[in-house]
Amino acid sequence: MDYYLNKRNRVDSFNDPKYQSIYLHSNSCVDEITLYFNESKDDFKMLAKGCAIFLSSCEIFVEIIKKLGFENKTLLINLYTKLINKEYLDEQQKQMLDKLNVYKNVSKHLNRKECALMIAKVFLKI
């Protein structure tokens, strides 16, 4: 709930020509995001609205990308997708996911699975 209630990378408005952006919206609910990123891909801003699972997963995912470095995005996306899909992860992989492990049971509610995975889809487009 902390990541849902307290913005870290979410902004109310953003306009900086030095940043590129990607927009994505859910086909099944109101979740939507415009992710802004600088050329070096080490700073991200988000205009986002949606449910608690969506917004908090976006915040945590961006926090971890910043920590691991953008060059590890594919690894993080793959591990996170495995977690959401209830696939086996060893302890080292779970450690890499850090706070994203809170979503390990999100697939019990299939309609929330998309909410949790939308941020991974955005980063796949970068």
Which residue ranges form the domains of the chain, and what is each CATH number? 2-124 (3.90.1010.10)
Q: How far apart, in whole angstroms, are the C-alpha atoms of residue 108 and residue 84?
A: 10
Averaged over 23-40, what is the pLDDT?
Answer: 95
Closest C-alpha to 11, from 47, 42, 38:
47
| Global pTM value | 0.93
Residue-level pLDDT at 2: 77
Residue-level pLDDT at 36: 98
111, 28 contact by CB (below 8 A): yes
pLDDT band with cut points at 50, 70 and 90 for residue 116: very high
Q: How distant, in Å, are the alpha carbons of 16, 17, 119 from that of 57?
A: 24, 26, 7
109, 84 contact by CB (below 8 A): no
Q: What is the per-residue pLDDT across 35-63, written as a single tens digit (0 to 9) for each? A: 999 999 999 999 999 999 999 999 999 99
- Count of CB atoms situated within 10 Å of the CB of 100: 23
118, 62 contact by CB (below 8 A): no
Residues 6 or more apart whose Cβ sits within 8 Å of residue 70: 40, 41, 42, 126
